[in-house]
Amino acid sequence: MSNTPFDESGRFVIEDYSSLRPFSSFLPGIAGLMGIPLWVFYVNRGQAIASFGLESKDKPVMEFQPANKAYQTTPWDSAAIYFFLIAVTLSYMYFEVFAVVRHPEAARLSFLGKYLAGALAVPGLPEANAAAHFRISWWLHILFVYGFIAYVPYSKYFHMFTGPLNLFFRGRGSSRRLPPVDIEKSEVFGIEKTADFTWKDNLDAFACMECGRCQDACPASTSGKPLSPKMILVNQEKRLLAERRKLLERRRDDLSPLFPETYTDGEIWTCTTCGACQHVCPVEIEHIRKIVGVRRSEVLMQGRFPQELNAFFRNLETNSNPWGLGFSKRADWAAGLDVPVLSEKKSADVLLWVGCAGSYDEQGIQVAKAMVTLLRKAGVDFGILGTEEKCCGDSARRLGQEYLYQTLAEENLGLFLNYGVKKIITFCPHGYNTFQNEYSQLLPLLAAFSGEDKERLARIEIISHVSWVNGLLGQGRLKLKPGTGGRAAYHDPCYLGRHNGIIKEPRDILSRLNAAAPANEIVWCAGPGRTLQVRLACGAMTLAWPQLTWSVADTIVSAELVTFVRVNEPSPQRGAVCVNANVAFIAGVPLTSTVQSKLERP
């Protein structure tokens, strides 16, 4: 028998294939042996069934419950893929059995083929029948293999090719910063039609694995709101494919608006931009920029947004805070504390950025006063802007009102320049993220500042109160009385922990108080810091409570005022189990309020 798979005339001969076997007899046997059992296990756990629109409730296969819409994407596509996977595995086993019978000298390490051939008594078949089965099995296996390869680019498993590319081109820190908009030069604001997606947005859509991790992590989706981050990508892909000819021919005017034909009001306006979807995505898809892009288009180009935002935007425009409270009262919290104001002091080593909640909210004011106490004890030369301080603009930006954001940012930057600010400490996570990551992106677009001024502004150091307090404790400039021990449930603010990676510092502070805090993140959005919460995005805090309390915590600690305030809010949705917990803000001085909150054990 020849050692080549070709005969004298150059034709491929299936029987003469022994030279191809050294590396193909053992590993395929392992794969075939594991393939079917793994498939059975996969189905029994409910993962494969979920792809067909069913959801496991830890029940046997026959008792699965219908899943929600986001789990019912491409069921026939899933069926085809699973068919090919099983067919390729079984056809290989079929081929291997008769390969051993026809060419026992080439069996070598093909343990699976030997076993199946013996178990099925195949060696007893007539020679002609065995030869026929050998040829049929070979061609059948080739047909399934190449059919599978040909089908993949047209299926959702195209992510096998686009996923690695998406990881390579992923945006560094994309969850904590949004692409800036040149208000003066742009003709289109945000994402109105499919032509407005960037190439990276489109790559995201085709890289989506449709695994649903983003949806499971999304607090809006889990609390029953219409948003599914997964469907944002799935619907984008469908729309891109439907309009591909118009896109390739650059016929933008012939394209239909994405809202409300592709994305609904509930999908676009319930996102809190907490970043949970991007945090868990295995191919690092950027969901937030697409949602905010559509918001920008709706707000700036169409003038359409939820009714709740009318007052919100108006309040920011007139009084520079979300609640419409008089801007002249912004420094009232400091009355009697002799807090230095930069308009009088002219300069200071550190600017304490108080923020809207710290200036107006009753509990936020207590935190602001605690920060003043800490600054003085540490001997820091600091000052505040007082009535000149304005909202950082974070909420306006993430709600799509880019023009208002840029207006507020330009005014704040002007104040920083005027007072020669070199270092800013803030206890607002949203303010920290905006100053640290987004003001610097905006600087090139602001014509009001010279190049030298922009360089000075870009050099301003932004420090979170958590990092600052931990640093002073490490230097010995602040000292804490040892705590009495106990277990603390620390809630990582989305814009400190998840977006900016400030996770270790607060736990270091708690360890100095002998409070045992979990080392891993507890970053479940505590309800939006966006202030359109009531109708669209409420309910997230109800879901954050089990994470905070089932750890048998003595104290609930937060570094965000939104979390701190919402923990103290009574809610009829929290069930029937009464839990006592001390609530503390990680400004170094625990607040003394004790809350009795009702929880429902999951």
DSSP state letters, 165-192 = HHHHTPPTTTTT------TTT-SS-S-S
Is the CA virtual torsion 417, 418, 423, 424 positive or negative?
Answer: negative
Domains and CATH numbers, the chain: 18-154 (no CATH), 164-302 (1.10.1060), 318-467 (no CATH), 482-599 (no CATH)
71: which 2 tokens?
Answer: 């789990």
In the prediction, which pLDDT does 372 show?
Answer: 93
* pLDDT more than 70, % of the chain: 68
Q: Can you tell me the distance from the alpha carbon of 296 to that of 506, in angstroms, rounded to the nearest whole number?
A: 35
In the prediction, which pLDDT does 562 show?
Answer: 53
In the prediction, which pLDDT does 34 show?
Answer: 65
Q: What does R_g of the chain's alpha carbons equal in angstroms?
A: 31
Top-confidence residue, 149 or 116: 149
3-state SS string for 491-510: ECCHHHHHCCCCCHHHHHHH
User: Which single residue is written with the structure tokens 């990582």?
Assistant: 492
Q: Can you tell me the distance from the alpha carbon of 515 to that of 554, in angstroms, rounded to the nearest whole number?
A: 9
**Average pLDDT, rounded, for the chain:** 78
Q: Can you tell me the distance from the alpha carbon of 454 to that of 456, in angstroms, rounded to the nearest whole number?
A: 5
Q: What is the DSSP string of 47-96?
A: HHHHHTTEE--SS-GGGPEEP-GGG-SSHHHHHHHHHHHHHHHHHHHHHH
At residue 528, does pLDDT exceed 70?
no
At residue 523, does pLDDT exceed 70?
no
Confidence of residue 492 (pLDDT cuts 50, 70, 90): confident
436: which 2 tokens?
Answer: 């640290």
In the prediction, which pLDDT does 545 show?
Answer: 46
Spatial neighbors of 430 by CB under 8 A, at least 6 apart, are 392, 394, 395, 495, 529
What's the rounded mean pLDDT across residues 279-304?
Answer: 94
In the prediction, which pLDDT does 503 show?
Answer: 87
At residue 593, does pLDDT exceed 50?
no
Confidence of residue 122 (pLDDT cuts 50, 70, 90): low
In what helix (H) or strand (E) does residue 30 lie, and over which residues does it extend? Answer: helix 27-44
Instruction: State the maximum Cα–Cα separation within the chain, in Å, rounded to a whole number.
Output: 104
In the prediction, which pLDDT does 294 show?
Answer: 96
What's the rounded mean pLDDT across residues 528-540?
Answer: 42
Spatial neighbors of 522 by CB under 8 A, at least 6 apart, are 489, 490, 491, 492, 547, 548
User: Which single residue is written with the structure tokens 């059975």?
Assistant: 40
Burial of 246 (0-12, 13-18, 19+ CB in 10 A): middle
Top-confidence residue, 442 or 110: 442
Top-confidence residue, 160 or 298: 298
What's the rounded mean pLDDT across residues 499-510?
Answer: 87
Residue type present at position 171: G
Top-confidence residue, 223 or 111: 223
Q: Is the peptide bond before 123 cis (omega within 30 degrees of 0)?
A: no
In the prediction, which pLDDT does 583 show?
Answer: 47
Top-confidence residue, 193 or 505: 193
In the prediction, which pLDDT does 384 show?
Answer: 96
Least confident of 111-115, 407-411, 412-416, 540-544: 540-544
Q: What is the DSSP string of 125-150?
A: S-HHHHHHHHHHHHHHHHHHHHHHHH
521: which 2 tokens?
Answer: 């993140």
* pLDDT more than 90, % of the chain: 44
The number of CA neighbours under 13 Å toward the Cβ of 484 is: 2
Confidence of residue 69 (pLDDT cuts 50, 70, 90): low
Burial of 239 (0-12, 13-18, 19+ CB in 10 A): buried
At residue 84, does pLDDT exceed 70?
yes
513 and 577 Cβ atoms separated by less than 8 Å: no
In the prediction, which pLDDT does 449 show?
Answer: 93
Name which of 548, 560, 553 is nearest 586 in CA terms.
560
In the prediction, which pLDDT does 576 show?
Answer: 30
At residue 75, does pLDDT exceed 90?
no
In the prediction, which pLDDT does 24 show?
Answer: 56
The number of CA neighbours under 13 Å toward the Cβ of 268 is: 26
3-state SS string for 13-29: CCCCCHHHCCCCCCHHH
In the prediction, which pLDDT does 96 show?
Answer: 77
Confidence of residue 95 (pLDDT cuts 50, 70, 90): confident
What's the rounded mean pLDDT across residues 226-236?
Answer: 93
Confidence of residue 510 (pLDDT cuts 50, 70, 90): confident
Count of Cβ atoms closer than 10 Å to residue 120 Cβ: 12
Confidence of residue 483 (pLDDT cuts 50, 70, 90): low
8: which 2 tokens?
Answer: 């004298």
At residue 566, does pLDDT exceed 50?
no
336-393 per-position pLDDT tens digit: 999 999 999 888 999 999 999 999 988 889 889 989 998 998 899 999 999 999 999 9
In the prediction, which pLDDT does 306 show?
Answer: 92
Cα end-to-end span (Å), the chain: 69
Beta-bridge mates of residue 525: none
Beta-bridge mates of residue 583: 556
305-331 per-position pLDDT tens digit: 999 899 999 999 999 999 999 999 999
Spatial neighbors of 367 by CB under 8 A, at least 6 apart, are 358, 427, 561, 564, 585, 587, 591
In the prediction, which pLDDT does 600 show?
Answer: 31
User: Which single residue is written with the structure tokens 């069926």?
Assistant: 79
Spatial neighbors of 273 by CB under 8 A, at least 6 apart, are 288, 291, 292, 398, 494, 530
Q: Are strands 555-558 and 488-491 parallel, antiparallel or unpaired?
A: parallel
Instruction: Taking each helix axis as running N to C, give the angle between helix 308-319 and helix 402-418, from 0 to 180 degrees, rounded to the nearest 10.
Output: 20
Spatial neighbors of 436 by CB under 8 A, at least 6 apart, are 462, 500
In the prediction, which pLDDT does 42 show?
Answer: 53
Count of Cβ atoms closer than 10 Å to residue 539 Cβ: 18
In the prediction, which pLDDT does 347 show?
Answer: 87
User: Which single residue is written with the structure tokens 């090139």?
Assistant: 444
Top-confidence residue, 194 or 525: 194
502: which 2 tokens?
Answer: 């400030």
As a residue count, the chain comes to: 602
Top-confidence residue, 549 or 81: 81
In the prediction, which pLDDT does 208 show?
Answer: 93
In the prediction, which pLDDT does 181 show?
Answer: 92
Residue type present at position 305: F
At residue 570, does pLDDT exceed 50?
no
At residue 287, does pLDDT exceed 90?
yes
At residue 524, does pLDDT exceed 70?
no
Distance of CA 312 to the CA centre of its chain: 26
